[in-house]
Each structure stands twice: as C-alpha cells, then as structure tokens.
C-alpha cells in the first residue's frame, strides 16, 4: 500500500514517514501543496495524509477542489485545530481527521483502515489456482491455509495476481511495494521473492523469466 505524506514540519514528517514505513507502507513525502500536487499527478496512492495548514494554504480547500472533479483517494488530515467546526469541515472534505499531538500507532491504524477502504472499492478478491488474496481484509490463503505475509510480500503478490499469470517486470513490482527512493537495481525485491517462494510452499507457484520479471503458474 502506497501513501503520500504532506507535512511541512520536518520532525513530524520524518516521524510519520518512519512509522508508516515500519508498518510496511511505501511512503512518498511532500513539504507543501505544489509538491503534493506533482506527486499526485504521476503516482497512484491508496491514501494521502495532509497537514491541514501548509505554507501554500489550507489543504482542506485543495482536497475539496479535487473532490469536486471526482478524485476518490482517501484523505487523512493532521491538524492542531480541534474545534467541533474544524472537525466537521475536515470530515466534509476528507475521510478522517487526527488532532495533534497524536500517537503514531493510532495514525498507522487509521491510515491502514483508509487504505483498505480503497481496496474494497477498487480491487476484488483475487484468485489464481489455489491461491486467494483479499485486499480489503489483507489476507492470503493457499489451498485454504492462511499465509502470514509482510506488507511488502503482500504488495508484490498482489501485483503478480493482478497480472493474471502474465509476467510482471522488476520495476513494476518495485513500484507496487516500495517508493521512489528504491532503485530498480536494488536487491530488496530478490529478498521478498525468496521469502514469498518459501511461504507459498509446494508445488512452486512463483517463477522467474530471466532478465525480465516474474509470473505465477
């Protein structure tokens, strides 16, 4: 699951980014609305976290304008404004509203909940042979047995299942599970592929096309 965090306070931005990465999310960051707008124009996100008051203006107005043209991505606002009126305004434009200071574990739980909402509306349960992956529940089974997957393993397997047995390139798999800071030549994907093969068990389902990518069969 991929998240964009827009926060101008460096200490809070680093803390939020670290907490979300530690929970298995791929995280991109922006410091202001123009940077967020650029990121949203080129990347697909499962959730966006906005500090409400940013140097370029109120993120609430920015999100409201995007909602008016049909933008569906779930939004969590972070803010020091805690009046009832502020909460109502935030929930009218976004999907959740978290008042500072907050516990990072609560932030992670709320972001995960919003990401699952995206999964329920966009992606059905995926099946391939005896393999079944449910994006909404974040659960995977093979032949009825539940598989305990990390966030990265789940994201890579999800992308492979979306291909319907077709080959998925390394860059596509990295983009599905990591953020723009990971280079295509990195070995992080190799580690996850090896872990997935072990957890998927026998007979082997995950295969390599040398120099190209991976597929399920």
Residue 35 pLDDT: 93
pLDDT confidence of residue 120: 42
Q: Residue 117: its pLDDT value, please?
A: 73
Residue-level pLDDT at 121: 45
**Among 121, 136, 166, where does a domain finish?**
121
- Specify whether 60 is located in the same domain as 157: no
Q: Which helix (H) or strand (E) holds 139?
A: strand 139-142
The CATH number assigned to the domain holding 169 equals 1.10.10.10
Which is nearest to 49 in space by CA: 25, 69, 81?
25
Q: 3 in the Ramachandran plot: left (φ > 0), alpha (ψ -120 to 50) or beta?
A: beta
Please state the domain count of the chain: 2
Q: Kindly state whether residues 75 and 95 are assigned to the same domain.
A: yes
- What is the end-to-end Cα distance of the chain in Å, rounded? 24
Residues 9 and 113 in one domain: yes
Where does a domain end: 121, 147, 181?
121
Q: Of 69, 102, 121, which one is at a domain's C-terminal end?
A: 121
170 phi-psi bin (left φ>0, alpha ψ -120 to 50, beta other): alpha
Q: Which domain holds residue 111?
A: 2-121
The pair of three-digit structure tokens given for residue 59, joined into one six-digit string? 């993120």
pTM of the model: 0.56
Per-residue confidence (pLDDT) for residue 87, from 0 to 100: 64
- Any idea what DSSP says for residue 176? H
CA distance 43 to 162: 18
- Residues 72 and 138 reside in one and the same domain: no
Per-residue confidence of the chain (217 residues) as pLDDT tens digits? 789 999 999 999 999 998 898 888 889 999 999 999 888 877 889 999 999 889 998 888 888 888 877 788 899 998 876 666 666 665 666 688 888 888 898 999 999 988 887 654 444 688 888 999 887 677 899 999 999 988 888 888 988 988 888 898 888 888 777 755 555 556 888 999 999 999 999 999 999 998 889 999 8
What is the spatial distance between Cα 11 and Cα 60, in angstroms, rounded to a whole number? 22
């Amino acid at each position: 699951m991929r998240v964009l965090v827009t926060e101008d306070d460096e200490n809070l931005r680093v803390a939020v980014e670290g907490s979300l990465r530690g929970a298995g999310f791929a995280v991109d960051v922006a410091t202001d609305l123009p940077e967020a707008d650029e990121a949203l124009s080129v990347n697909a996100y499962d959730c966006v976290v906005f500090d409400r008051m940013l140097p370029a203006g109120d993120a609430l107005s920015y999100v409201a304008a995007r909602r008016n043209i049909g933008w569906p991505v779930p939004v969590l606002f972070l803010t020091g404004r805690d009046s009832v009126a502020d909460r109502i305004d935030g929930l009218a434009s976004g999907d959740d509203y978290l008042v500072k200071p907050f516990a990072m574990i609560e932030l992670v739980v709320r972001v995960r909940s919003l990401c699952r909402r995206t999964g329920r509306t966009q992606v059905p349960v995926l099946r391939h042979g005896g393999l079944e992956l449910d994006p909404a529940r974040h659960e995977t089974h093979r032949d009825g047995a539940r598989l305990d997957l990390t966030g990265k393993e789940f994201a890579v397997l999800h992308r492979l299942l979306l291909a319907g047995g077709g080959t998925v390139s390394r860059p596509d798999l990295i983009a599905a599970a990591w953020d723009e800071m990971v280079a295509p030549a990195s070995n992080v994907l190799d580690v996850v592929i090896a872990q997935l093969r072990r957890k998927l068990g026998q007979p082997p389902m995950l295969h390599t096309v040398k120099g190209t990518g991976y597929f399920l069969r």
